[in-house]
Structure 1
């Protein structure tokens, strides 16, 4: 089985588009974060699960988002995007069995999470549930999951060139750090002048 590619979000609002980027890469397509931000409808609060779902459908994926139980989660096709800690999105890309709990329960499932904050984390079942579960319906605890499956249209969709940065993206990125860039340029100028003396 191939290794799951983890992309790091560039700011705290990018977790949704970054998760979609990881899932698309899993299925063999590379999309730039900038493109995914645009089609996800990102705003000051970030993006909603609906925005991620609609963006994935624009890319040619079939999606289904719902509140499900842990048992239902174990049956869905992975990877899936999960609503995490009620304010973040992560990708669940693998569930394995066999983490020893050290208790009488024996072994429990391990949940492999790709967190766009920059980490690949393996959670035991209790820690996973603490972060994922959000509501209780009819006596069953449920969390939100978005399943994504590529359709033939997904493979016809033109991906983005990998590693190609546009000039406007670079300027936008540097503009966020304009004070630091100014200090760097001023330091280079002063250093150059001192070398002339």
Structure 2
């Protein structure tokens, strides 16, 4: 997993409630879709109380990405070769 820390540009959240947006911005940028957190925030407001998977998937779809939700164990997650949330 260390290889992703080097390749994914870190985007820090500005508010407690925008962790999902910050994660999506990092993944979007990983795939060459240059978007900043303020740009993402403008069209997709942060959710209070935590980000729902449905919100993440809808935001991905709005930006031309296909999101798939999986339930994985930590061991399975470590085997993935793509950035994920």
- The CA distance in 1 between the partners of 2:15 and 2:48, in whole Å, is 11
Q: How many residues align structurally?
A: 81
Q: Which structure shows the bigger proportion of residues in strand conformation?
A: 1
Please, what is the CA RMSD of the aligned residues? Answer: 2.2
- Decide which of 70, 77, 80 is 1:73's aligned counterpart: 77
Q: For the structure 1 residues 48 and 37, does the alpha-carbon distance in structure 2 shift closer, same or farther, using more than 3 Å as the test? A: farther
User: Using CA pairs below 8 Å that are at least 6 residues apart, which structure has the higher relative contact order?
Assistant: 2
Q: Which structure shows the bigger proportion of residues in helix conformation?
A: 2
Structure 2: runs of 5+ lacking an equivalent: none
* Equivalent pair of 2:61/2:67 in contact (CA under 8 Å): yes
Structure 1: runs of 5+ lacking an equivalent: 82-197
Once the 2 structures are TM-superposed, how far is the Cα of residue 19 of structure 1 from its aligned partner? 0.4
Structure number with bigger Rg = 1
CA offset digits 1:150-195 (Å, max 9, x no partner): xxxxxxxxxxxxxxxxxxxxxxxxxxxxxxxxxxxxxxxxxxxxxx
Runs of 4+ aligned residues of structure 1 deviating over 6 Å after TM superposition are: none
- The CA distance in 2 between the partners of 1:71 and 1:46, in whole Å, is 24
TM-score, normalised via structure 1 length = 0.36
